[in-house]
Structure 1
Amino acid sequence: MRLVRHPVLCNYYVTYRCNAKCSFCDIWEKPSPYIQLADVEQNLRDLKRLGVRVVDFTGGEPLLHRQLPEFLQLAHDLGFVTTVTTNGLLYPKYAERLRGKVDMLHFSLDSSEKEQHDRGRGVACFDFVLESIRVAKSLGERPDVLFTVFRENLGQLEDVYRNITRPNGLVLIINPAFEYNAVETGERLTEEELQYLSAFGKRPGVYLNEAFIELRRDGGNHVAAPVCRAASTTLVISPSNELVLPCYHLGARSFPIEGRLHELYRSEEVQTLAALEGRLPQCEGCTINCYMQPSFAVETSKYFWQALPSTLKYNWYKGTWKRMLAR
């Protein structure tokens, strides 16, 4: 049963440019402009009219955009819950300007070993992540560590938890790696490894959406009976001020927004394409977390019930439920 029939999340790409070269991502290879302040102002107003609750300012590396603090302030003033994920390279420099504007601040860290983390990210950023944690805490911020799990770094979870997140009072977010396009992410996790993650996710100070694990056991999204609700739950806005459908990773169509996001999203052309969410040939087997998270939240299914406990726990700990209720 569908519980929410409007989009709840916007993945707002401030730029596709990145100062890292992660082995499991191809976005840094793309040429890209930067979003414009006037467009952000108009689009945020339209996003609110459409019912969106969370705005994830993403990239690329979002901190490459020098007006990011202004975007975040605009979003905060309109009552959105804001999210930013960064590799940490620029956070210490801009931390003061970002202070109090990011509800869910994530630092990407995939190993407790400097060489392993930096190798996966294609740039020396391990030390910057540790410095970012120190700076954020000194400013009264409550960042999280986002750990992208592959078979090769699975053994690092314990050390990151024991030596970095727990001593610093941070939430460890477990982000199982996913495949898309021609990006190589290594061998898929075995059932034993999925069981290990599931058990790890029940520890204090750890967030793991259990539905991510179940979806992988089920072979991902299936076009014959799709669980993906990417286009109806999530608006994707590109740095060129385009609405991208059905999702960023598939990106089958891009529509120029031109100051009319509300009308564009509700247009027949966009809604016809959105209705194909999870049903296109490329959607078979998809497990992309950033679209499955909202998909699981808007309709009752086994994934809804599996996702609910960890989602409630995380939002209670972060206090974001207060901003949700305040709108």
Structure 2
Amino acid sequence: MRLTSKPVLCNYYVTYRCNAKCSFCDIWEKPSPYITLEDVAQNLRDLKKLGVQVIDFTGGEPLLHRQIDQMLAMAHEMGFITTLTTNAMLYPKLAQKLKGKIDMLHFSLDSADKETHDKGRGVACYDFVMESVRVAKELGERPDILFTVFKHNLHQLEEVYQKIILPNKLVLILNPAFEYNAVETGERLSEEELDYLTAFGKRKQVYLNEGFIELRRDGGNHTSKPVCKAASTTLVISPDNELVLPCYHLGTQAFPINGDLYTLYLSEEVEALKKLEGKLPACEGCTINCYMQPSFAVEVNKYFWKALPSTLRYNYYKGTWKRMFA
């Protein structure tokens, strides 16, 4: 049963440029412009009309955009829930400008060991994460630590939790790694390792969408009976001001927005692509978290029920539920 036909999320790529070179990501390899503030303003108005509730300003590294604080402020003032994930290299410098404008602020950290984390990110950024936690807390912000889970760093979870999460009163978000295109993330987690993640996700100050684990146990999305609702739940906007469908990672087609995102999203061409969500050959076995999370939220099925407890708990802790009903 579908709960809403409206899209709920916009993944807004402000640039594909990045100051890190993560081994499990290929976005930083792309040439890229920066989105313009004028296009953002117009698109936010159309996103509001379409019913979108959450704007995830992403990249690349979103803090590379010199007007990111203005974009966040605009979205926040319009009543959107704003989210941003950063490698934290630029956060200490920009923290004062960003204060109060990000509802869900995530700092990426994959190990409690500086050398290990920096090696995976291709740049020395561990110290920036630690500094960013300190600065954010001094400003009264409530950042989270986003831990991308691989087989090779699963054993690091306990140390991150004990040494960083609990002393700083942060939330640890467990983000199981996923493969896409030619990007490989190593051997997939075993049943025993998925069990370990599930148990870890029940600890205080830890968020794990249990729907992600269930989907991995089931072998991912299946084109014969797709769970993915990427195109109908999530709008993807590129730095070139294009609507990308059915999702960023497939990017089958990109449509120039030309100042009218509302009409474009409801057009026959886009509607035709929405009907193919989760059914394309490349969709078989997909487990991409950023599209599965909204997919689980709009349709009542076993993934909905698996995802619901942790989602409610996280939104209650962060207070974002208040903005949804403001």
Shorter-normalised TM-score: what interval?
over 0.9
1:125-171 Cα offsets, whole Å, 9 max, x none, are: 00000000000000000000000000000000000001001110000
Q: State the distance in 2 between where 1:94 and 1:228 align.
A: 36
Alignment correspondent of 2:143: 143
Hey, what does 1:324 align to over in structure 2?
A: 324
2: CA distance between counterparts of 1:173 and 1:273?
Answer: 32
Say which SS state the counterpart of residue 167 (structure 2) adopts.
Answer: helix
Which residue of the partner structure matches residue 94 of structure 1? 94
State the AA in 2 paired with 1:49: K
Equivalent-residue separation in structure 2 for 1:27 and 1:323 (angstroms)? 31
- Residue 115 of structure 2 corresponds to 115
Q: Match of 1:234, as an amino acid?
A: T
Normalising by structure 2, we get a TM-score of: 1.00
How far apart in 1 are the matches of 2:107 and 2:88? 6
Q: What's 2:154 paired with?
A: 154
Secondary structure, aligned partner of 1:292? helix
Q: Deviations over 1:275-327 (max 9, x none)?
A: 1000000000000000000000001000000000000000000000000011x
Show the counterpart of 1:189: 189
1:32-43 map, 5 Å: 32-43=32-43
RMSD: 0.3
Measured in 2, the distance between the counterparts of 1:266 and 1:94 equals: 37
What is the match of residue 204 of structure 2? Answer: 204
Structure 1 residue aligned with 2:17: 17
Inter-partner Cα distance in structure 2 for 1:317 and 1:180: 32
Deviation at 1:184, TM superposition (A): 1.2
Q: Secondary structure at the match of 1:309?
A: helix
Unaligned runs of 5+ in 2: none
CA distance in 2, matches of 1:128, 1:165: 16
Secondary structure, counterpart of 1:119 in structure 2: helix
Provide the residue aligned with 2:297 in structure 1: 297
Residues 94-125 of structure 1 show CA distances to partners (whole Å, capped at 9, x for unaligned) of 00000000000000000000011000000000
Distance 2:6 2:99 in 1: 30
Letter in 1 for 2:222: H
> Aligned equivalents of 1:76 and 1:194: distance in 2?
36
Cα distance in 2 for residues equivalent to 1:320 and 1:186: 34
The Cα offsets for residues 201-231 of structure 1, whole Å up to 9 and x where unpaired, read as: 0000000000100000000000000000000
Q: Quick one: distance in 2 between partners of 1:73 and 1:88? A: 19
* Match of residue 61 from structure 2: 61
Q: C-alpha distance in 1, partners of 2:87/2:273?
A: 33
Q: How many pairs align?
A: 326
Deviation for aligned residue 1:32: 0.1
Q: Residue type of the partner of 1:130?
A: M
Structure 1 Cα separation of the partners of residues 197 and 182 of structure 2: 26
What is residue 219 of structure 1 aligned with on the other side? Answer: 219
* Residue 72 in structure 1 maps to residue 72 in structure 2: yes
Using structure 1 for the length normalisation, give the TM-score.
0.99
Provide structure 1 residue ranges, at least 5 long, that are not aligned to the other structure: none
DSSP 3-state at the match of 2:325 = helix
Counterpart-to-counterpart distance in 2, 1:111 and 1:20: 16
Say whether 1:260 aligns with 2:260.
Answer: yes
Distance 1:325 1:164 in 2: 33
Looking at structure 2, the residues matched to 93 and 181 of structure 1 have their Cα atoms a distance apart, in angstroms, of 34
Structure 2 counterpart of 1:168: 168
For the residues of structure 2 that align with 1:11 and 1:85, how far apart are their CA atoms?
A: 12
Query: How many Å separate the matches in 1 of 2:96 and 2:153?
Result: 32
| Aligned partner letter, 2:162 | R
CA distance in 1, matches of 2:187, 2:114: 23
1:234-273 equivalence runs, <5 A: 234-273=234-273
CA distance in 2 between counterparts of 1:98 and 1:213 reads 33
Distance 2:37 2:111 in 1: 36
Residue matched to 1:310: 310
Query: In percent, how many aligned pairs have the same letter?
Result: 77
Return the alpha-carbon distance in structure 2 between the equivalents of residues 25 and 88 of structure 1.
Answer: 17
User: Residues of 1 paired with 2:7 and 2:44: CA distance?
Assistant: 13
Could you tell me how far 1:248 is from its partner in structure 2? 0.1
